Amino acid sequence: MAKNAFYAQSGGVTAVINASACGVLETARLYPDKIGRVYAGRDGILGALTEDLIDTSLESETAIAGLKHTPGGAFGSCRYKLKSLDEQRVQYERLIEVFRAHDIGYFFYNGGNDSMDTAWKVAQLAGRLDFPLISIGIPKTVDNDLAATDCSPGFGSVAKYVATSMREAGLDVASMARTSTKIFVLEVMGRHAGWITAACGLAAERLNEPPHILLFPEIPFAPEPFLLRVAESVKAHGFCTIAVSEGLSDASGRLIAEMGGKDAFGHAQLGGVGQVVAQLIKDRLGYKYHWALADYLQRSARHIASRTDVEQAYAVGRAAVEAAIAGKNAVMPAITRISDTPYRWEITFAELSSVANQEKKLPREFITPDGFHITDLCRRYLAPLIEGEDFPPFTHGLPNYTRLQNSSVARKLKEFTP
């Protein structure tokens, strides 16, 4: 007897999370004897809690295929963390109630560390309640900090975007430095882990090419050695380009972004570590600066996605469904690297219990001893993740992204406020 499936997107979206959705939906359609309809949660797990389900079976094959090249979260995502089973048992029980009402036997949860934890708890509760449910996590995060997988779908495309942007801006600054801007700072995401900052380093093919300095959240910021390095770069090359993580902190763990003073309304200037660092250079060394804040542009830049990343995002979606069909439970498809050159990888399965609430930081040996750049070891790890292009179709000069109908499934239960 076929059971329905539930799929939800969780947390910050990426340029390729919909490629994972595409993998789930296209694969589920291959097994009509096992999987009936796939319902998606509108705005993630909130859709399950509020019984706000989207019937993906009403979407055309073309629309589903279009998800593979469409950024953002096609069904909506949310930041909503379920706490422990003890604290929020009612919420977990509600999930099971909704699953029961809609004959859902498969739970696919597409997210980062928190989501793997939730998927694991749902699996546990279903077991305790003797509710037949297969719970599978599908990895996703631009931060690349998920445990048990060599890399996280979503990261490779951000990496390609920031490295490309840094290379391009570096050429711009180099050509103007003699009479104009000498300092360029690019602020990137990754509050706790420096993977995206590290990826900026790929822009440099040869020594002394932009970026000249990387500022990682893993390395406490010390102004003096930094300023010395900036001055050296300007002396040697005429300019200095810098990539900085939004999570850059000092030795006491205080965010540098919060040291930039207050705005007109008395708030700390958050999301502006790029400007704080640039202004420090201006004040101490006198150089004119520009800075850029990539913000959401970096994680939604599907137009410059990594083909490797798109393929892996699709593969973990497909593997999740295949694993469920095969009776695996409480696992997450993970990307396992077989070799760097040529790059080869395969899908393996990690126990959700081993993934949940882990955080994979940039290893110290991926950062040069001086703390300001990436090592060759890091390059070997990063390089294959940005390989290949997978441009979306363009119409009238712009990427032609897919919009779904997102039709609601009729509610069967009483209202519930999460």
Q: Which of residues 105-144 bind a copy of itself (CB under 8 A)?
A: none
CB of 348 to a copy of itself, least distance (A): 24
Q: Is the dihedral of CA 314, 17, 205, 174 positive or negative?
A: positive
- Does 357 bind a copy of itself (CB under 8 A)? Our answer is no
Interaction residues for a copy of itself, span 236-265 (CB under 8 A): 259-265
CB of 406 to a copy of itself, least distance (A): 11
Residue from 29, 100, 290, 328 touching a copy of itself (CB under 8 A): that is: 290
Tokens of 366: 């991926």
- String marking each residue 303-332 x if it binds a copy of itself according to CB under 8 A: xx-x-x------------------------
User: Is 172 annotated in the active site?
Assistant: no
Tokens of 92: 């977990």
- Does 77 bind a copy of itself (CB under 8 A)? Our answer is yes
Find the part of the chain contacting a copy of itself (CB under 8 A) among 55-63, 90-98, 294-302, 359-367. Answer: 294-302
In angstroms, the CA 370 to CA 362 distance is 15
- Does 168 bind a copy of itself (CB under 8 A)? Our answer is yes
The residue among 86 and 205 lying less far from a copy of itself, judged by its C-beta, is 205
- Does 292 bind a copy of itself (CB under 8 A)? Our answer is yes
Interaction residues for a copy of itself, span 79-98 (CB under 8 A): 79-80
Task: Work out the burial of residue 415: count CB atoms within 10 Å of its CB; fewer than 13 is exposed, 13-18 middle, 19 or more buried.
Answer: exposed
- Does 301 bind a copy of itself (CB under 8 A)? Our answer is yes
Find the part of the chain contacting a copy of itself (CB under 8 A) among 88-96, 293-301, 318-326, 408-416. Answer: 293-301
Find the part of the chain contacting a copy of itself (CB under 8 A) among 24-32, 56-64, 290-298, 330-338. Answer: 290-298
- Report in angstroms the alpha-carbon separations of 157 from 3, 115, 319, 396: 34, 21, 20, 24
Find the part of the chain contacting a copy of itself (CB under 8 A) among 146-154, 327-335, 362-370, 379-387. Answer: 379-387
- Does 163 bind a copy of itself (CB under 8 A)? Our answer is yes
Find the part of the chain contacting a copy of itself (CB under 8 A) among 26-34, 220-228, 287-295, 329-337. Answer: 287-295
Interaction residues for a copy of itself, span 33-72 (CB under 8 A): 43, 46, 70-72
Q: Which of 43, 114, 117, 143 is catalytic?
A: 143
In angstroms, the CA 373 to CA 136 distance is 37
196 within 8 A of 215, measured Cβ to Cβ: no
Residue from 279, 336, 354, 408 touching a copy of itself (CB under 8 A): that is: 279
The residue among 130 and 415 lying less far from a copy of itself, judged by its C-beta, is 415
Strand-pairing partners, residue 110, are: 9, 138
The residue among 301 and 332 lying less far from a copy of itself, judged by its C-beta, is 301
In angstroms, the CA 158 to CA 143 distance is 9
Residue from 179, 252, 339, 417 touching a copy of itself (CB under 8 A): that is: 179
Number of residues in contact with a copy of itself, rule: CB under 8 A? 80
Residues tagged active-site: 143
